[in-house]
Amino acid sequence: MDKQLAAMLVCPNCKGQLKLDKEAQELLCTFDGLAFPIRDGVPVMLEQEARQMGEEEKLEKAKR
């Protein structure tokens, strides 16, 4: 996924900034603890498709 496109997207829940996790192919909202999948280069920005991050993972990803 293109970094410029990722920079324009916001969390559909809180409208906060997302972080791109290239390794996991996810866009992360560390505020809400949601990880939105990127499938075939296309971000899936549906809350029901997002993975809930655990507290430890959320803190770890927020530091990056």
Each domain of the chain, given as residue ranges in start order, spans: 3-63
Beta bridge partners of 5: none
Q: Could you identify the residue written with the tokens 């997002």?
A: 50
Would you state the pLDDT for residue 1?
Answer: 76
The amino acid at residue 30 is T
Quick check: 18 and 9 in contact, CB under 8 A? yes
Quick check: 1 and 20 in contact, CB under 8 A? yes
Would you state the pLDDT for residue 63?
Answer: 76
Taking only Cα atoms into account, the Rg of the chain, rounded to an integer number of angstroms, comes to 11
Would you state the pLDDT for residue 20?
Answer: 94
- What are the helix (H) ranges across the chain? 3-8, 55-63
Low-confidence residues of the chain: pLDDT under 70 = none
Would you state the pLDDT for residue 61?
Answer: 80
Instruction: Tell me the per-residue pLDDT of 6-17, one tens digit each, with 9 for 90 and over.
Output: 889 999 999 999
The fold for domain 3-63 equals N-terminal domain of TfIIb (2.20.25)
